[in-house]
Structure 1
Amino acid sequence: MTSMKRIMAFALAGITLTGCATTTEVTGPTVISYDHGALDTLLELGLEEKVVAIPHQSLPDYLADLGARLPDAGGLKTPDLALATDLKPGLVLMTGRQGAEALTSFAKEAPVRDVTLEGNDLQAAVNDRVLSLAGYYGLEEVAGVELDALWQHVEAQKATLADAGTVTVVTHNNGNFSLRQEALVYELLALTPAAAPDSVQPVVRGERTFYPVTADVLAQMAPDNLLVVDRSAAIGDEPLAPETLKASLAEAGVSTEVVVLNPGLWYLSGGGLQSVRLQVDEVVNAVR
């Protein structure tokens, strides 16, 4: 959203931004956020001053400048309870990534909110989370304007993809691949997945289900576009060498465009006012 549109959005809610004739302080809790999508939503709502710490480890590049200004709240899987005890935030934002034990421990020091996206409708889930976060600060009207702008942008980008062809999304992890049922790609942008052969069967590990595939299987699927979410790169392990994957597909006579998506944005973030827009734009630039 442009600066002028943001000023207009805050004006609709009766809030004056710093730099205008007067300044009205927005009331609401200070926050430690262990969810980057929730964090970028707070930033887009103009609430950076309410954020008192964030995890620095594997911070996505689009949030890197914030990491230089705020204390380190630990890792996404190793949150720093001692810091929360010292800072006494009014709210801690977490997801299942931190684990039940961390949620329970932090709840003894500050109110904890699980901001995991719920349900099978991505747009509705994003709306619910954005509006509920805005509600802590009385910014529901502002959030509504921001959401309208976001979904208008998504629709405009979606309209450019008529000739995109088939799209397969996979997660790369230490040389292995699994199909990724990416709602932003197949639901929001309505792109067409390449059909998987019957040999691709689900593997259940705990509460998660994976669909492992090899380069040979991807060659059988022969998508026009192959988008890779590189988990290994996102968490600091050995990243995928895309040239190797491209060579395997070429040897099989398959002409597939292979694009490695921004690892931190896709594996460690998403579902926020900023991250959804960034992800949509990256997919559109990759496939059209």
Structure 2
Amino acid sequence: MNSLKLTLAGALAGLTLAGCATTASDTGPTVVSYDHGALDTLLELGLEDKVLAIPQQGLPDYLADLGAKLPDAGSLKEPDQKLLADLQPELVLMTGRQGADAQISAAKVAPVRDVTLATGDFRDAVSANVISLASYYGLKETAGLKLGELWQHVGEQKAELADAGTVTVVTHNDGNFSLRSEPAVYELLALTPAIVPDSVAPVTRGERTFYPVNVETLAEMAPDTLLVVDRSAAIGAEPLPQQALQSALNDAGASTHVVVLNPGLWYLSGGGLQSVRLQVDEVVSALR
């Protein structure tokens, strides 16, 4: 971790501890969340009345009803700092998606909590985030019950996919594809990925690493099912023409079935009590 990250982490931690410690409370903090997974966890815990605003741009459809009731807090990339100053929430939830500058600006208004999922085991990371958020409101026991229900549901759904065959997940962005290591697919549901050819090489941009693939490579991999997370559609750009991709794979000799997943749910959300269940259910529905 570089010095800027250490400075930012220390500053935000100090503000959080000073302004909004995670102790049990009958009320708990009012909140604006720039992470949809954290937001849907709050909703599942019955805390809708604590949410003051919601970023409307690219809002996933499963959150549309809440979005219609609340002020627009900007976008996931560009929080509305003026609105935050006007609303004076007692807690702001953010991730690395917003960037250091946005977090520092928000921290001048209210304590900022970084709710980025920890690396490592996905189920453990989701559980830790849910329990941590619930602790602000004295709802750790409720959160534990909700998690138990979620993981039981995941287990039941997983049991139905024993004959699902191989599954590849890709991100689509403006006509380009890259392999996607999706934990809901490969960890929670333990689906089998298609073998990746040695010709697929990583490309690093900043701190992110991509594994670009084209239609020919996907046809060579020949997964039984290709799940597509359409970034272009999620951000309001030209969506993937699904039938064109399906036809191209068929023409290349692959019998792969192409499924385009809900773009907002998969690209802009995840990791919450509601979004994890929705993602699991969508994959199971696609593979049945």
User: TM-score w.r.t. structure 2 length?
Assistant: 0.91
Q: How does 1:220-231 map to 2 (within 5 A)?
A: 220-231=220-231
For residue 273 of structure 1, what is the aligned residue in structure 2?
A: 273
- What SS does structure 1 have at the residue aligned with 2:160? coil
For residue 55 of structure 1, what is the aligned residue in structure 2?
A: 55
For residue 140 of structure 1, what is the aligned residue in structure 2?
A: 140
May I ask how many residue pairs the two structures share in their alignment?
Answer: 264
For residue 248 of structure 1, what is the aligned residue in structure 2?
A: 248
Is there any run of 5+ residues in structure 1 with no aligned partner, and where?
A: 1-24
RMSD: 0.8
- Quote how far apart the aligned CAs of 1:183 are: 1.1
Looking at structure 2, the residues matched to 216 and 273 of structure 1 have their Cα atoms a distance apart, in angstroms, of 37
- Quote how far apart the aligned CAs of 1:26 are: 4.1
**Which amino acid letter does the alignment assign opposite residue 218 of structure 1?**
L
For residue 78 of structure 1, what is the aligned residue in structure 2?
A: 78
- Quote how far apart the aligned CAs of 1:182 are: 0.7
Query: Does residue 1:38 correspond to 2:42, yes or no?
Result: no
For residue 119 of structure 1, what is the aligned residue in structure 2?
A: 119
- Quote how far apart the aligned CAs of 1:72 are: 0.4
Q: Residues 106-154 of structure 1, C-alpha deviation per residue, up to 9 Å, x if partnerless? A: 1111000000001211000000000000000000000000000000000
- Quote how far apart the aligned CAs of 1:252 are: 1.2
**Which amino acid letter does the alignment assign opposite residue 142 of structure 2?**
V
- What SS does structure 1 have at the residue aligned with 2:243? helix
- Quote how far apart the aligned CAs of 1:260 are: 0.1
Looking at structure 2, the residues matched to 33 and 220 of structure 1 have their Cα atoms a distance apart, in angstroms, of 42
Q: How does 1:122-201 map to 2 (within 5 A)?
A: 122-201=122-201
For residue 20 of structure 2, what is the aligned residue in structure 1?
A: none
For residue 8 of structure 2, what is the aligned residue in structure 1?
A: none
Looking at structure 2, the residues matched to 217 and 158 of structure 1 have their Cα atoms a distance apart, in angstroms, of 28
Q: Residues 21-71 of structure 1, C-alpha deviation per residue, up to 9 Å, x if partnerless? A: xxxx94100000000000000000000000001100000000001111001
Is there any run of 5+ residues in structure 2 with no aligned partner, and where?
A: 1-24
- Quote how far apart the aligned CAs of 1:271 are: 0.2
Which consecutive aligned stretches of 4+ in structure 1 deviate over 2 angstroms post-superposition? Answer: none
**Which amino acid letter does the alignment assign opposite residue 229 of structure 1?**
V
**Which amino acid letter does the alignment assign opposite residue 187 of structure 1?**
E
Q: Residues 144-189 of structure 1, C-alpha deviation per residue, up to 9 Å, x if partnerless? A: 0000000000000000001000000000000000000111101110
**Which amino acid letter does the alignment assign opposite residue 162 of structure 1?**
A
For residue 20 of structure 1, what is the aligned residue in structure 2?
A: none
- What SS does structure 1 have at the residue aligned with 2:117? coil
For residue 283 of structure 1, what is the aligned residue in structure 2?
A: 283
Looking at structure 1, the residues matched to 28 and 221 of structure 2 have their Cα atoms a distance apart, in angstroms, of 50
- What SS does structure 1 have at the residue aligned with 2:226? strand
**Which amino acid letter does the alignment assign opposite residue 133 of structure 1?**
L
User: TM-score w.r.t. structure 1 length?
Assistant: 0.91
Identity of aligned residues (%): 74
